[in-house]
C-alpha cells in the first residue's frame, strides 16, 4: 500500500465501514466494535477490514457473525460512496493487536517486578572479597633509583659507537660503498 491513492481508498473505506456499523447496521449480535485498520490490495479489488470488539469470546463470535451477514450491505454502501467502477470485496478480520499489547504489558510488569526484587536484595549486600577485586599493576616508588636499567642502556650505546669508529678506520667499504681511508 505504498501508492497514495490506495491509502486514500483504505482510509475512506475505514470511515464508511465505521459509520455503517454505528448508524445503519442494527444487528443485536453486533457488539461494541472499533475498526482499527483497512488494507487494500494494489489493484483495489480486495479490502481487509481489521476490527476489535470490547468483551469476551461470546461477543467476538456474535460480532463476527453479524459482520459476515452485513458484508453485502456494507460493500454496496462502500461502492456508492467511493464511486468506483468496481467495489472492493470486503473481508473482516479480528485484530489481535490489543491482546498482543496486553501480553507485552504483562511481560513488562513481570520484568519490572523482578528488577525491583533484585534492587531490594542488592540494598544490604556486600562484596564477596574486596570492593575492587581486579589486580592492579605494581607501583614502584619514585625515590628508588633504577640503576640496573640505566647502566645497561649507557653501556649499550658506548659499545655501538666503538664499533662504528672501528669500522670507519679499517678502510673497508661501509653501507654507502665508500672506503674509510
Of the pLDDT bands very low, low, confident and very high (cuts 50, 70, 90), residue 109 is very high
What is the three-class DSSP state of 10? Answer: helix
Of the pLDDT bands very low, low, confident and very high (cuts 50, 70, 90), residue 130 is confident
Of the pLDDT bands very low, low, confident and very high (cuts 50, 70, 90), residue 107 is very high
Closest CA to 97 of 35, 31, 47: 35
- Note the pTM of the prediction, 2 decimals: 0.56
Place of cell 476490527: 51
128 vs 166, higher pLDDT? 128
Predicted local confidence at residue 27, as pLDDT = 80
Determine the angle formed by the axes of helices 57-69 and 71-82, rounding to 10 degrees.
60
Residue 24 and residue 45 in contact, taking contact as beta carbons nearer than 8 Å: no
Burial 21-48 (b: 16+ CB within 10 A, else e): beeebeeeebbebebeebbbeeebeebb
User: Per-residue pLDDT for 120 more than 80?
Assistant: yes
96 vs 64, higher pLDDT? 64
Lowest-confidence segment of 36-50, 106-120, 153-167 by average pLDDT: 153-167
Determine the angle formed by the axes of helices 71-82 and 4-19, rounding to 10 degrees.
130
N-to-C CA span, the chain: 91
Spatial strand order in the sheet of 32-40: 32-40, 46-54, 89-94
Q: Specify the pairing of strand 89-94 against strand 32-40.
A: unpaired
The mean of the pLDDT values for the chain is: 79
Q: Residue 177 has which C-alpha cell?
A: 660503498
Mean pLDDT of all residues in 109-113: 92
Predicted local confidence at residue 47, as pLDDT = 93
12 vs 142, higher pLDDT? 12
Of the pLDDT bands very low, low, confident and very high (cuts 50, 70, 90), residue 110 is very high
Mean pLDDT of all residues in 130-154: 67
Amino acid at each position: 500500500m505504498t501508492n497514495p491513492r490506495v491509502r486514500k481508498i483504505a482510509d475512506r473505506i475505514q470511515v464508511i465501514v465505521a459509520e455503517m456499523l454505528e448508524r445503519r447496521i442494527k444487528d443485536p449480535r453486533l457488539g461494541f466494535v472499533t475498526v482499527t485498520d483497512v488494507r487494500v490490495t494494489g489493484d483495489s479489488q480486495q479490502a481487509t477490514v481489521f476490527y476489535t470488539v470490547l468483551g469476551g469470546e461470546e461477543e467476538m463470535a456474535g460480532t463476527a457473525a453479524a459482520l459476515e451477514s452485513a458484508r453485502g450491505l456494507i460493500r454496496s454502501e462502500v461502492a456508492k460512496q467511493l464511486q468506483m467502477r468496481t467495489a472492493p470485496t470486503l473481508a473482516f478480520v479480528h485484530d489481535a493487536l490489543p491482546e498482543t499489547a496486553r501480553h507485552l504489558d504483562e511481560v513488562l510488569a513481570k520484568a519490572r517486578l523482578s528488577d525491583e526484587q533484585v534492587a531490594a536484595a542488592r540494598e544490604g549486600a556486600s562484596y564477596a572479597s574486596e570492593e575492587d577485586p581486579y589486580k592492579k599493576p605494581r607501583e614502584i616508588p619514585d625515590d628508588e633509583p633504577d640503576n640496573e636499567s640505566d647502566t645497561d642502556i649507557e653501556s649499550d650505546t658506548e659499545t655501538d659507537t666503538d664499533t662504528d669508529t672501528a669500522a670507519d678506520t679499517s678502510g673497508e667499504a661501509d653501507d654507502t660503498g665508500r672506503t674509510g681511508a
